[in-house]
């Protein structure tokens, strides 16, 4: 594990973690780029506000608080070197970890969790075999998590609280994971970098431009969709509504017909995973930006009425 601390324009302690999976180079490249561009510790706020002599736009909005910190972490170095997802165990299934474990990732999970202890906001970078759009994942909707998910440039966030309890976002408070794009693509690096800047802005760590927030649709993750064998077919894209009675995916073993309304795929992929086509999710509502109502998931009002009106018009 490599930890690189950088200065912050604000008072929050925030962290960005790349390289949790060794075969996802985007996160590592994004963290390195941020390490190059952010100011050293103790030099933070001044630099990010501009030096006041070159571009003239450097408006200093507020006091610089030296308590703030941006911690950049490259997590699983042996797996990154080997270009493999993990060496002994999947790190993102190994939390909270065990410092005494003989399994490399289980011991690393404990060290990584310790590096993130007490942080105000954490963003974990991932890529996938699935098609766009990028999306975020949370397990516990703290005020910090609300700020992150409504501040990231994503339309959807997956509520993973009903899924595994061994991931980084389910064990380290105030953590959001983000799937920034297709594994190995340049688009994933570019999008992920911009997403990190948005994350740093909404938590006050950089002051290059004002943060922006938007309502984010919450999809509760429910169950994995198993894959059997033979030629795989996936018929619906991520977050695309699967009509009641339609087949989401099939192969020689399975025909996965969806028998209820409101189901959408998450991480849908024909060949990305050996044993699953992806996951089923259910749209539960929206999270509103900070300052707009309470910190909870608001059901999407009038969705049923709109459907009925639409049917009547046909």
The closest alpha carbon to 120, from 241, 15, 191, belongs to 15
Of 2 and 215, the one with the shorter C-beta distance to Zn ion is 2
Is the CB of 24 or the CB of 49 nearer to Zn ion?
24
182 binds Zn ion (CB under 5 A): no
Minimal distance, residue 276 CB to Zn ion, in Å: 15
Dist CA 301 CA 30 (whole Å): 38
126 counts as binding Zn ion under rule CB under 5 A: yes
Smaller CB separation from Zn ion, 22 or 211:
22
Q: Which stretch binds Zn ion (CB under 5 A): 23-31, 132-140, 151-159, 161-169?
A: 23-31
Burial (Cβ within 10 Å: 0-12, 13-18, ≥19) of residue 66: middle
Q: Whole-angstrom Cα distance, residue 152 to residue 122? A: 13
Rounded CA separation 297/294 (Å):
9
Pairing, β 2-6 against β 255-257: unpaired
Q: Which listed range, 57-65, 68-76, 125-133, 228-236, lies at the site for Zn ion (CB under 5 A)?
A: 125-133
Phi, psi at 263, each rounded to 5°: -95, 135
Maximum distance among all Cα pairs of the chain, rounded to whole angstroms = 67
Residue 182 Cβ, how far from Zn ion at the closest point, in Å? 12
Nearer to Zn ion, 10 or 18 (CB): 18
The one among 6, 13, 21, 156 contacting Zn ion by CB under 5 A: 21
Give the count of alpha carbons within 13 A of 94, CB side only: 26
In angstroms, what is the minimal distance from the CB of 127 to Zn ion? 6
Let me know: does 158 contact 297? Beta carbons within 8 Å: no
Let me know if 86 is exposed, middle or buried by CB neighbors in 10 A (0-12, 13-18, 19+): buried
Nearest approach in angstroms of CB 128 to Zn ion is 7
CA distances from 247 to 76, 241, 256, 260, 279 (A): 38, 12, 6, 12, 14
Q: Counting contacts by CB under 5 A, is residue 227 touching Zn ion?
A: no
Which C-beta is closer to Zn ion: that of 265 or that of 272? Answer: 272
Least Cβ distance, residue 125 to Zn ion (angstroms): 8
Which parts of 134-153 interact with Zn ion (CB under 5 A)? none
- Rule CB under 5 A: which of 29-68 touch Zn ion? none
Considering the complex, what minimum distance in angstroms separates the CB of residue 91 from Zn ion? Answer: 9
Q: Which is nearer to Zn ion, 7 or 221 (CB)?
A: 221
Give me the residues that bind Zn ion (CB under 5 A), please. 21, 24, 126
């Amino acid at each position: 594990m490599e930890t690189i601390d950088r200065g912050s324009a604000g008072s929050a302690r925030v962290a960005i973690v790349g390289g949790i999976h060794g075969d996802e180079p985007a996160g590592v490249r994004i963290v390195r780029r941020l390490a190059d561009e952010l100011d050293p510790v103790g030099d933070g706020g001044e630099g990010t506000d501009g030096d006041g002599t070159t571009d003239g736009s450097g408006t200093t909005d507020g006091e610089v608080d030296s308590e703030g910190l941006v911690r950049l972490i490259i997590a699983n170095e042996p797996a990154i070197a080997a270009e493999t997802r993990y060496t002994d165990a999947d790190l993102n299934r190994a939390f909270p970890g065990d410092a005494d474990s003989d399994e490399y990732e289980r011991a690393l999970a404990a060290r990584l969790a310790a590096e993130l202890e007490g942080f105000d906001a954490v963003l974990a970078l991932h890529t996938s075999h699935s098609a766009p759009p990028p999306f975020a994942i949370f397990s516990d909707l703290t005020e910090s998590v609300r700020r992150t998910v409504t501040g990231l440039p994503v339309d959807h966030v997956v509520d993973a609280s009903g899924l595994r309890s061994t991931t980084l976002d389910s064990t380290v408070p105030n953590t959001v994971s983000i799937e920034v794009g297709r594994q190995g693509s340049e688009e994933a690096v570019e999008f992920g970098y911009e997403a990190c800047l948005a994350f740093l802005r909404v938590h006050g760590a950089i002051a290059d431009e004002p943060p922006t927030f938007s309502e984010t649709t919450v999809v509760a993750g429910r169950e994995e969709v198993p894959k059997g064998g033979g030629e795989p077919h996936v018929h619906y894209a991520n977050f695309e509504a699967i009509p009641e009675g339609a087949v989401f995916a099939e192969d020689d073993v399975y025909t996965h017909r969806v028998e209820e309304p409101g189901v959408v795929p998450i991480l849908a992929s024909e060949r990305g995973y050996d044993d699953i086509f992806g996951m089923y999710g259910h749209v539960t509502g929206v999270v509103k930006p900070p300052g707009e109502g309470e910190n909870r998931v608001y059901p999407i009002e009038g969705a049923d009425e709109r459907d009925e009106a639409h049917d009547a018009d046909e």
